[in-house]
Every structure is written in structure tokens, then in C-alpha cells.
């Protein structure tokens, strides 16, 4: 049934954003926005997700700060509408920035061990993690460039 | 001073493993093992990190289950020694397995919206996340193959 599939999708997005340490409610609001053809009011979001208006307000504020949602003021009304905006590139980029800081901190430790196998083992851990972050970074840069080209055309 | 740099490295590894939802103490034990030239006893780890022996025991058990540490029984003694083992490839692979499950769940939602811009927006989010996971997966496979070749030579 479509309502179940919708509910299940919304929970999946909650789970997805939780892996970037965003509250599950925030992720679910994003999930709802992604499957809504038109912008929604905070009341509508609260009703559909069985959340308090305060929780929805907090979630929308977080999504806005991440560039995942935008608020649309209504002329002559204090009511805001909300819609999903952009993709998760900003979240991934922030996650990468943090990973790079950690890699730099780990590299500081490379001269704390001087003999094999400890030395090689440490280089191996750092090397793998750094490569993993690099390929992700490259992919994000490519994505950003494609987005920019898309806007110019 | 070397002791400070060592302490700082250990905390960084705690932070790093926390991004895979491992307790900070577990990450710090791994960090200590990475900068130890020789295997350590649980008492030595507890003393250096100011942890209880129970916490160290739990941490070691977790690291062992992730392939990040191995225990070495001592003949004629009940004392175990512990050393770092392998890299973080298993953690990354587990993280990928979970990401792929989420992507499959997200794709289930693609037909919940049928009109642009909602449809295109959703495809964009899923597409980016899927590409991000794919490049990481490819990199891990390459790494695994290199490890296997290293063992054969």
C-alpha cells in the first residue's frame, strides 16, 4: 500500500541522515519533503509525521542550515512553507572536511612508532582511510562541477 | 612532548572510530595498540588509558570482532596480550553494506513522486549518494586485491 511504502521511505531517510549524526526526526522531515510534490506548512509536516510543531521547527531549521530545505514566506501570512532543496552534497562535504582533519591528526602519530611491523601497520590504516576519503572528495568535486555546468546551460 | 602527542593521537583514533558508532573508549584502545611496538596486557592498557579493566575487556572484544585487534594467549598464564591487527577495511565494508541497504530502500521511493521537479530532485539525491558509495566500494575492492597479492608474494 502506498502509505506504507511512503512511511518506510521516510524512515529510511531518517536512518540515512542519522549516519551523519542528524536527529532521526530531522531526517524524516527531509524524507517527507522529498516525496511531496508541493511545499508543505509546518502544521502539515507535524500532522503527517506525528511530531510536535517545536520538533518540526527545529528540524526545518537544521535542514535549512544544511541547504537541504528552504522556507518560503507567504505574502500576507505568517505561515511558512517548506520544500526540499538541493542534494546531500553539503553533508558529504562537511563529513569529508572532518575526515581530513582526523587524517591530519593521525599522520601526526606516524613518527610515534619507528619499527616494523607497528610502523607499517599504522601507515596502512592511515593510507586506507586517506584513499577512501580522497575518492569520495574527487567524486563530490566532479558532481559540483556538473551541477555548475547544468546551471549555466 | 611525546606523551602529549601520543595522547592526542589516541584521542583522534577514538574520534575516528566514533564515526562508525564504536564507543570512544574502544577507539582509544585501538589508538594505543597502533602506537605500541609490542603487544600489551589488559592491565597495561587500563593503566595507560585510565579505564577500568572491564571497559578494556569490552573494548578488546569489540576490536577483535571487527578484526582490528587480536588476542595472544600466554602459555602457562591466564594473562592475554593484545595487539592491533589489520586495517579498518572491515569497518568501511560494513559501513558500505549498510549504505547499500539504505540506497535500495530509497530507490523503493522513487515512484512515490511522479512530477518534476520533485522527481528529479529525488533522483539527484539518490544518485549522488549511490555514486559516493560506489567509488568507496571500488576503492575497497582494489585495496583488498592488493592485500591478497601482497600475501601471495
- Reply yes or no on whether the pLDDT at A147 is more than 80: no
The CA distance from B65 to B62, in Å, is 5
| Mean pLDDT (whole number) for A27-44 | 95
A15, A34, A132 member nearest B125 (Cβ): A34
Lowest mean pLDDT, pick from B72-76, B126-130, B149-153: B149-153
* pLDDT at residue number A19: 78
Q: What is the ipTM of this complex?
A: 0.77
- Say how many C-beta atoms besides its own lie within 10 A of residue A6's C-beta: 19
A8, A12, A105 member nearest B12 (Cβ): A105
* Cβ atoms of residues A60 and A69 within 8 Å: yes
* pLDDT at residue number A53: 96
* Window 37-56 of A, Cβ < 8 Å to B: 37
Specify the 3-state DSSP secondary structure of B113: coil
Beta strand pairing status for B40-41 and B80-84?
antiparallel
- Reply yes or no on whether the pLDDT at A38 is more than 60: yes
Please answer yes or no on whether B5 and A124 come within 8 Å at the CB atom. Answer: no
Lowest mean pLDDT, pick from A44-53, B59-68, B83-92, B116-125: B83-92
Give the residue with greater pLDDT, B10 vs A144: B10
Taking the Cβ of residue B140 and every Cβ of chain A, the question of whether any pair is shorter than 8 Å is answered with yes
* Cβ atoms of residues A143 and B128 within 8 Å: yes
Question: pLDDT above 70 covers what percent of chain B?
Answer: 97
**pLDDT band at A152; cut points 50, 70, 90:** low
Taking the Cβ of residue A138 and every Cβ of chain B, the question of whether any pair is shorter than 8 Å is answered with yes
Mutate to test the interface with B, among A129, A134, A138, A141 (most CBs of B within 10 A): A129
Please answer yes or no on whether B118 and A8 come within 8 Å at the CB atom. Answer: no
Please answer yes or no on whether A132 and B139 come within 8 Å at the CB atom. Answer: yes
Mean pLDDT of chain B: 88
Segment B76-120, tens digit of pLDDT: 988 899 999 876 788 888 778 888 888 888 888 888 888 888 888
The CA distance from A23 to B89, in Å, is 27
Taking the Cβ of residue B2 and every Cβ of chain A, the question of whether any pair is shorter than 8 Å is answered with yes
**pLDDT band at A151; cut points 50, 70, 90:** low
- Say how many C-beta atoms besides its own lie within 10 A of residue B80's C-beta: 15
Segment A89-107, tens digit of pLDDT: 888 887 788 888 888 888 8
What nine digits make up the cell of A87? 542534494
**pLDDT band at B59; cut points 50, 70, 90:** very high
- Reply yes or no on whether the pLDDT at A13 is more than 80: yes
* pLDDT at residue number B120: 87
Please answer yes or no on whether A5 and B89 come within 8 Å at the CB atom. Answer: no
Please name every residue paired with B69 in a beta bridge, in sequence order, or none if there are none: B84
* pLDDT at residue number B48: 97
Residues of B in contact with A131 (CB under 8 A): 139, 143
Please name every residue paired with B73 in a beta bridge, in sequence order, or none if there are none: B80
Amino acid at each position: 500500500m502506498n502509505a506504507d511504502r511512503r512511511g518506510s521511505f521516510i524512515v529510511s531517510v531518517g536512518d540515512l541522515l542519522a549516519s551523519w549524526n542528524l536527529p532521526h526526526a530531522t531526517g524524516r522531515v527531509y524524507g517527507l519533503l522529498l516525496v511531496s510534490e508541493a511545499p508543505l506548512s509546518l502544521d502539515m509536516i507535524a500532522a503527517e509525521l506525528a511530531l510536535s510543531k517545536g520538533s518540526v521547527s527545529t528540524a526545518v531549521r537544521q535542514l535549512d542550515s544544511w541547504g537541504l530545505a528552504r522556507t518560503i514566506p507567504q505574502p500576507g501570512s505568517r505561515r511558512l512553507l517548506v520544500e526540499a532543496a538541493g542534494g546531500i552534497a553539503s553533508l558529504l562535504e562537511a563529513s569529508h572536511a572532518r575526515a581530513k582533519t582526523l587524517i591530519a591528526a593521525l599522520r601526526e602519530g606516524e613518527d610515534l612508532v619507528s619499527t616494523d611491523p607497528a610502523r607499517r601497520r599504522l601507515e596502512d590504516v592511515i593510507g586506507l582511510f586517506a584513499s577512501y576519503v580522497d575518492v569520495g572528495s574527487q567524486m563530490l568535486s566532479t558532481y559540483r562541477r556538473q551541477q555548475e555546468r547544468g546551471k549555466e546551460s
